[in-house]
Amino acid sequence: MKQAERPGLHRWTRREYGRLIDHGFLDEDDPIELLDGLLLLKEPQHSPHRTAVLLVAKAVERAFGEGWFVQTQSPIILDDRSEPEPDVCVVRGSARDYVDAHPTRPALIVEVAQSGLAIARGRKAAAYARARITDYWIVNLIDRVLEVHREPARPGPARRHWGYASIETLAADATVRPLAAPSMGVRVADLLP
Amino acid sequence: MRSSRHAIPCIALVTLTRAAPVDSIRVMASDEVKTRRFSRAEYDRLIELGVFQPGEPIELIGGELMVAEPQGAPHYTATQKTAKVLERAFGPGWTVRAQGPIGLDDDSEPEPDIAVVPGGPDDYGRAHPSRPALTVEVAESSLAIDRHHKGSVYARAGLADYWVLNLVDRVLEVYREPVPDRAARFGWRYARREVLDASARATPLAAPGSSITVSQLLP
């Protein structure tokens, strides 16, 4: 009945979202992503943001190596009401494996956040945790740190809200090891613009 | 926020200052998100194209697509009773519309529970009415939205007489005199708000000779 977070707001399904695109209400250049049924406007791409995205893509490509590919600002499918476009995500296989459908379960998602920090920690973290994304990083441009979110969980008696049980904040001189490629360390300094 | 030099060489654990793990998150509603807005022309086209599920109770309020409150028995009963009472109060020359669309402005097409508009049904065969003389929302779980969200859009459109039939407290809230207010959701609000209990009487601005007892509207 009443929705807990934004009471009353219509939640779009992926099917409806697809029809919006087909009928020209949205096009590929629109800075919009479907997250939990909301058509979210994405954080503006100022140059530090863009630089960080490129740095992250390069660093994680090196860390994961063969058998993985890295996509930037491209759609993934989480569930019936979420088709977000994370800044960077690492997916198993090769790009050709996803000709017919977007990837669904990236091994790592990275968001670069400045003005969108609250959303990256709040709504996006909740949606990613609900989709059991086990490794979610936020490159926090405000504090120049990397936030590593792990252990998706739904605690509390009501068990209604998803989130991450473990959040580590790493400074520039630290090194992070992706869960799915633990032998390769990534220096946080290499991710920061 | 900085890691210590003596920390474990590869991963530095730092005290959490802002990002909070899930068990300490209160609600995730505090981040006010920006979403794609729709114009009324776009909204009409979405309906024409059949993008929404048939019967989905959607309305466009200030560019946002809102889902109308589910119709419980008290809500439906209150709507019917209010329609009947207002038909009698306004008399000939007016039409009482129940949950019909109103072409309010460029980014709003609400479907208020009741709207009293001048003229007959044929006057609106080509376009929805835009300025009801009286607008009524019946509110149970939608109370906050009806008061502040819709109230602000109705005030912005200059609707002179807006009633919220509050089923939670069994009162009628009468809103009048729209005024600009930057702090309001859509830049406008009603300057006057009167709360009438079941035994009180209300008179619509556009039907000054009539008198309605609030209990006649309540389920």
Tell whether B143 is covered by a domain.
yes
Confidence at residue B56, expressed as pLDDT on a 0 to 100 scale: 76
Tell whether A98 is covered by a domain.
yes
Residue from the list B14, B141, B144 with its beta carbon closest to the beta carbon of A1? B141
A126 at the B interface (CB within 8 A)? yes
pLDDT exceeds cutoff 60 at B34? yes
- Which stretches of A61-188 are assigned E, i.e. beta strand? 68-72, 88-92, 108-113, 135-140, 145-153, 163-170, 175-176, 186-187
Least confident of A48-62, A134-148, B44-58: B44-58
Tell me the pLDDT band of B69, cut-offs 50, 70 and 90: low
Tell whether B198 is covered by a domain.
yes
Residue from the list B1, B10, B27 with its beta carbon closest to the beta carbon of A175? B10
Query: Considering chain A, what percentage of its residues have pLDDT values greater than 90?
Result: 75
- Enclosing H/E stretch for B186: none
Higher pLDDT, B66 or B57: B66
Confidence at residue A2, expressed as pLDDT on a 0 to 100 scale: 34
Tell whether B112 is covered by a domain.
yes
Confidence at residue B41, expressed as pLDDT on a 0 to 100 scale: 94
Tell whether B138 is covered by a domain.
yes
Residue from the list B19, B52, B65 with its beta carbon closest to the beta carbon of A167? B19
Least confident of A164-173, B41-50, B128-137: B41-50
Residue from the list A8, A156, A171 with its beta carbon closest to the beta carbon of B14? A171
A82: domain CATH number?
3.90.1570.10
Owning domain of residue B79: 70-216
Over residues A9-24, mean pLDDT = 91
A residues 59-98 lying closer than 8 A (beta carbon) to B: none
B6 at the A interface (CB within 8 A)? no
Tell whether A31 is covered by a domain.
no
Tell whether B110 is covered by a domain.
yes
Tell whether A30 is covered by a domain.
no
pLDDT exceeds cutoff 50 at A20? yes
Higher pLDDT, A159 or A73: A73
Tell whether B80 is covered by a domain.
yes
What CA–CA distances, in Å, run from A156 to A162, B21, B43?
10, 12, 39
Q: What is the pTM of this model?
A: 0.79
Tell me the pLDDT band of B176, cut-offs 50, 70 and 90: very high
Mutation target among A1, A3, A9 for the B interface, most CBs of B within 10 A = A9
Owning domain of residue A148: 44-190
Report helix, strand or coil for A17. helix
Report helix, strand or coil for A96. helix
Tell me the pLDDT band of B8, cut-offs 50, 70 and 90: very low
Tell whether A34 is covered by a domain.
no
Q: How many separate domains does chain B show?
A: 1
A residues 29-58 lying closer than 8 A (beta carbon) to B: 30, 32, 38-41
Inspect the interface and report whether the beta carbons of A165 and B21 lie closer than 8 Å.
yes
Confidence at residue B22, expressed as pLDDT on a 0 to 100 scale: 54
Tell whether A73 is covered by a domain.
yes
Tell whether A21 is covered by a domain.
no
Higher pLDDT, A155 or A46: A46
Confidence at residue B67, expressed as pLDDT on a 0 to 100 scale: 85
Query: Are B69 and B141 spatial neighbours (Cβ–Cβ below 8 Å)?
Result: yes
Sequence-distant (≥ 6) Cβ neighbours of residue B75 within 8 angstroms? B69, B113, B138, B140, B167, B219
pLDDT tens sequence across A71-119: 999 999 999 999 999 999 999 998 888 888 899 999 999 999 998 999 9
Confidence at residue A57, expressed as pLDDT on a 0 to 100 scale: 97
B145: domain CATH number?
3.90.1570.10
Alpha-carbon span A133 to B217, nearest angstrom: 51
User: Which residues on A lie below 8 Å from B52 (Cβ)?
Assistant: 16
Tell whether A5 is covered by a domain.
no
CA A49 to mean position of chain CA atoms = 14
Report helix, strand or coil for A122. helix
Alpha-carbon span B79 to A76, nearest angstrom: 44
Question: How many CB pairs lie under 8 A apart between chains A and B?
Answer: 140
A121 at the B interface (CB within 8 A)? yes
Over residues A52-58, mean pLDDT = 97
Higher pLDDT, B141 or A109: A109
Query: Are A163 and A111 spatial neighbours (Cβ–Cβ below 8 Å)?
Result: no
Over residues A144-168, mean pLDDT = 89
Q: How many separate domains does chain A show?
A: 1
Tell me the pLDDT band of B53, cut-offs 50, 70 and 90: confident
Residues β-bridged to residue B13? none
Tell whether B41 is covered by a domain.
no
What phi-psi label fits residue B120: left (phi over 0), alpha (psi between -120 and 50 degrees) or beta?
A: beta
pLDDT exceeds cutoff 60 at B94? yes
Tell me the pLDDT band of B29, cut-offs 50, 70 and 90: very low
User: Which residues on B lie below 8 Å from A171 (Cβ)?
Assistant: 1-3, 12, 14
